[in-house]
Amino acid sequence: MHVITRVVLVPLHKGHHPIWGSALYDVDICNMVDDVVVRSNDSIYRFPIDEGLLPWLRTLIGSMNDYDCITQNHSSGQNATTRTSLVEAATRRLAGESLQLNTFEPGPVSPALVSGGTVAVDLMLSRIVGQRPEALVP
């Protein structure tokens, strides 16, 4: 008999790395660390990671990590390490560094432990989806 000791997120698409999963949103960073992909219900949004999005992405990752700590997610350390490595890879890509992204495996992320109320991360995601309707993938 197998015992499940950890639940992890499955990527939205092959070659993506999940960084967040809650009741409202799933978020991945694509394999080439050049897009953030957000799914809400049946809609998918793509946000190119550029110099303008990078500060927002860092804040988003910080909020995700804070939320994991507040809810005492047992995987908060691994989640933070995975998310941080993806943002660092995106930063290096933007700086022009050559990366071996086809073999990049930052590790798994466990879903958010939603304990009721409004999640700050989901609020940030709802704002960017509302501000950038052109990011909707048809």
pLDDT at 1: 46
pLDDT at 106: 77
Every domain of the chain and the residues it spans: 16-135
pLDDT at 102: 61
pLDDT at 100: 74
Mean pLDDT by 10-residue block, N- to C-terminus, for the chain (138 residues)?
55 81 89 90 93 95 92 90 92 88 74 72 93 94
| pTM for this prediction | 0.86
Closest Cα partner for 103 from 13, 17, 31, 19?
A: 31
The rounded distance, in Å, linking the Cα atoms of 84 and 30 is 14
